[in-house]
Amino acid sequence: MGISEATFYNWKKKFGGMGVTKLRRLRQLEEENQRLKRLVADLSLDKVMLQEVIKKSSEAGSEASGGAFSAGGLPYQCPTGMRTADAEQNRLPLAEPAG
């Protein structure tokens, strides 16, 4: 089980002029690139999962509290020193909705 001559010559043409140190560096960069791609995929999945949790919790919280969530789906924060009844009149969002 070998490789074809065409594959060998293509490899030699591509990598033949590189020294050992350059080939090692290329391999390190390829390994780092793969690691970073996996990391991005994991973080993207985490982001999607968190967005789904926020969406579900805001829907459930909105139904339970009769709409105590902002338009962006974030709960309102009571300013320091305000009673609950006062806070309902002076709602302050935790963060500004993106957009």
Q: Where are the domains of the chain?
A: 18-93
CA dist 11 and 34 (Å) reads: 21
Between 41 and 96, the higher pLDDT residue: 41
**Mean pLDDT of the residues in the chain:** 77
Using a pLDDT cut of 90, give the percent of the chain over it. 40
- pLDDT of amino acid 15: 84
Q: pTM for the complete prediction?
A: 0.46
How do residues 14-54 score in pLDDT, each as one tens digit? 888 888 899 899 999 999 999 999 999 999 999 999 999 99
* Integer Cα distance of 42 and 54 in angstroms: 18
Average of per-residue pLDDT across 56-70 = 69
CA gap 17, 22 in Å, rounded: 10
| pLDDT score at 11 | 86
